[in-house]
Structure 1
């Protein structure tokens, strides 16, 4: 009789444990689906305004700055705001190697990618042009026979240079110039997956199930 009761108790306990394991597995799957990124964020900092190089209106990559948009070489299209905050923009410059700074806060998060978007046009006999970040060349461009084409350039920025303030500059190899509309630095920071409220409810059910099995075992 004692052997029968022991066997019955063992089988009953094993069945309860198997049921609990299945429940916890289902809980883990659902919790994983319901969890989401909590700290993923995109930091964006723009220097200059989007006013089509001071001409007004909008323009896009591939537009012709002179023949299509009416831009004139050697002209200054800056307004008071440009001169105060981004004096290198909206002015057609002979190669003066303009520089500017993007300032931002990472908020204690770790950057995982960074890109600079540069809107530039009006090239004329410029030869090659280097884009530098903190005095490090990160891209080199050549625009043969495109002396007035608008270019929307995007280049990856080394994460080691993303520290709250990054300076950029252009270094040219020709005798003529170009015009800059604006630049935007985009930084993606780290993300951490945490359970959302629905999955926290499932955690409660899981703990309740464990408690229920323990009570049954104690009663038996």
Structure 2
């Protein structure tokens, strides 16, 4: 059994596909985002597909400023949260349950009365691994399919009784990778003994022709 991991192997596997890739990783953009990447299908001419591992991933980077309007110091916790929702062009593959929730925050901090503090960049990342049906991915000649992710983000402050003003900037990005396990198609190769017999037969025919 073999695994398709290297891009060079995949390029040989899927000549003529729209985008030959075993993985993609989109750059972070200011939320809200809508990003798309492409992965290759398995070329059934290579052999029998026995397993598929699909990994979906996401990243968040956030920076924010908090200003206190309270009359005294406040203990608080500020969080930026990005929900990533995935969809695909591949019929039969449901990615709806595979959403990721990313949270980057300060932890509990103390903000003095009238103070303004900046935090960040703060980062968060997560991934989920799926093992979908192999039959969805095996196509004679290969091909490709798309994966799209969209974000829904928010910012929250716990504590301080509402006496905090904030500004924030958040970026996010998503990616995906796929690994195919397969049993290669075998080609019958003549055994050495059989090749020797064929060779002797051809030599005999040549000798008979010379005698004639």
> Relative to total residues, which structure has the larger helix share, 1 or 2?
1
Q: Please indicate the TM-score interval, normalised by the length of the shorter structure.
A: 0.3 to 0.5
Higher RCO, Cα 8 Å, sep 6+: 2
* TM-score computed with the length of structure 2 as normaliser: 0.43
Report which of the two has the higher share of strand: 2
TM-score, structure 1 length as denominator?
A: 0.41
